[in-house]
Amino acid sequence: MSKNLMTPARFFTLILFGLMLCTASTAQDNQATKEKPKMLELWKPGDTGQRMRIRGRVTDTSGKPLPNVKIRFRHADSNGINRSYHQGELTTNDRGVYQFGSVIPGNSHRLSHVHVYISHPGYEYLDTEFYFKDDPKADPDDPNSIFLEESNSNGEKIMYGRWDITLISQ
């Protein structure tokens, strides 16, 4: 005589265990995709000028995020003088997101700007720069001109902006 080993209680326990495994797996996947990008901080204590933080996403022409893109930033200090520490490199996270902080560069003879050098295998190298919309010399319709919004963090005023980048495949 064969005995039915699958009782309703055992069946319920198996279903519950399976759901717990699926939930744990999904939570780990979501955690991996929600990882914050590392901050490249070019601001140093004692820097004069207004602090800024820029964040953006690098995608291909179809809008697909590109992870591990190398981005190098370089700019002058708030007085328009090039300093070796106002440059650095980072890579985008798994969602193609990057962020860096520094001071808003000064410049008396042209637009205040940040030089940006971008490389990723299979895509065209991009050497460009971005500007700030509130600069009187800026063209507010220029796609490389970004808007900065003020925020106070722990009593300190920091300007935040977003600049997304699209790379063209080779």
CATH code of the domain covering residue 60: 2.60.130.10
* pLDDT of 63 over the 50 cut: yes
Is the domain of 77 the same as that of 13? no
Is the domain of 65 the same as that of 11? no
Concatenated DSSP letters for 87-103? Answer: EEEEE--TTSEEEEEEE
Split into its structural domains, the chain has a count of 2
pLDDT above 90 covers a percentage of the chain that reads 61
Where in the sequence is the domain holding 29, given as residue range(s)?
Answer: 7-36
Q: What is the Cα–Cα distance from 49 to 66, expressed in whole angstroms?
A: 33
Is the domain of 18 the same as that of 66? no
Domain membership flag for residue 2: no
Is the domain of 88 the same as that of 15? no
Is the domain of 96 the same as that of 151? yes
Q: How confident is the model at residue 128 (pLDDT cuts 50, 70, 90)?
A: very high
Is the domain of 91 the same as that of 15? no
Provide the sign of the torsion angle of the four alpha carbons 120, 121, 127, 128, taken in this order. Answer: negative
Is residue 147 left, alpha or beta, with left meaning phi > 0 and alpha meaning psi from -120 to 50? beta
Is the domain of 99 the same as that of 26? no
Q: What integer is the mean pLDDT of 70-87?
A: 93
Is the domain of 71 the same as that of 142? yes
Q: What is the Cα–Cα distance from 135 to 131, expressed in whole angstroms?
A: 8
Domain membership flag for residue 1: no
The pTM assigned to this predicted structure is 0.77
Q: What is the token pair recorded at 158?
A: 């920091």
Q: Residue 72: phi, psi to the nearest 5?
A: -115, 130
Is the domain of 21 the same as that of 51? no
Q: What is the Cα–Cα distance from 33 to 11, expressed in whole angstroms?
A: 33
How crowded is residue 148: how many other Cβ atoms within 10 Å of its Cβ? 18
Half-sphere exposure of 143 (CA within 13 A, CB side): 4
Is the domain of 32 the same as that of 77? no
Supply the pLDDT for residue 44.
Answer: 87
Q: 127: exposed, middle or buried (C-beta count within 10 Å: 0-12, 13-18, 19+)?
A: exposed
Is the domain of 18 the same as that of 43? no
Whether 165 contacts 117, CB under 8 Å: no
> Of the ranges 10-14, 34-38, 43-47, 139-143, which one carries the lowest mean pLDDT score?
10-14
Q: What is the Cα–Cα distance from 131 to 129, expressed in whole angstroms?
A: 7
